[in-house]
């Protein structure tokens, strides 16, 4: 019975992602498909009950937006900086500080959301979430490498 509930929650979330992505461009559809796979993977790996999943994923979506925003700002900061030979030494220290400040902000966000996740799924699984998320990224990367061969 519990397996059936998990299946129902995962199918519902996948359908929700598909419906929300139907009017978006091709890349957005691909992103939505990856996100729905990520939701299913997290649900499975953390053994979320339907009730936990219903409370967890709205918090996760906020976390994901904040992390995405800070990583985008970090990419913009590093790609906009000059890369010339003459300016390297002058800008290198300032750029490192910027990168470190973005990393520190990302760590603060993770600490904040670990507490919020713990309220829903407990401390152990809240801490495990970050490992599960990293494992999903690694699986995604391996799949991308496989397809590029």
Question: pLDDT tens across 73-99, in order?
Answer: 998 887 765 554 444 455 555 556 678
Domain ranges (residues) in the chain: 2-148
Question: How many angstroms separate the CA atoms of 11 and 32, rounded?
Answer: 14
Question: How many angstroms separate the CA atoms of 141 and 79, rounded?
Answer: 22
Sign of CA dihedral 83, 148, 13, 55: negative
Sign of CA dihedral 37, 7, 130, 51: positive
Is the predicted pLDDT of residue 68 greater than 90, yes or no? Answer: yes
pLDDT at 21: 46
pLDDT at 76: 87
pLDDT > 70: percent of the chain: 70
**The model's pTM:** 0.70
Q: Which two tokens stand for residue 81?
A: 């900086």
Mean pLDDT of the chain: 82
């Amino acid at each position: 019975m519990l397996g059936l509930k998990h299946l129902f929650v995962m199918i519902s979330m996948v359908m929700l992602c598909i419906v929300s992505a139907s009017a978006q461009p091709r890349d957005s559809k691909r992103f939505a498909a990856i996100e729905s796979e990520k939701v299913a993977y997290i649900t499975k790996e953390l053994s979320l009950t339907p009730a936990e999943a219903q409370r967890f994923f709205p918090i996760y979506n906020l976390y994901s937006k904040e992390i995405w925003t800070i990583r985008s700002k970090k990419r913009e900061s590093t790609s906009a900086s000059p890369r010339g030979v003459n300016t390297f030494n002058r800008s290198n220290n300032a750029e490192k500080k910027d990168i470190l400040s973005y990393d520190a902000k990302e760590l603060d966000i993770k600490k904040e959301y670990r507490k919020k996740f713990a309220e829903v799924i407990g401390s152990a699984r809240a801490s495990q979430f970050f490992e599960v998320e990293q494992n999903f990224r690694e699986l995604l990367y391996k799949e991308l490498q496989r397809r590029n061969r």
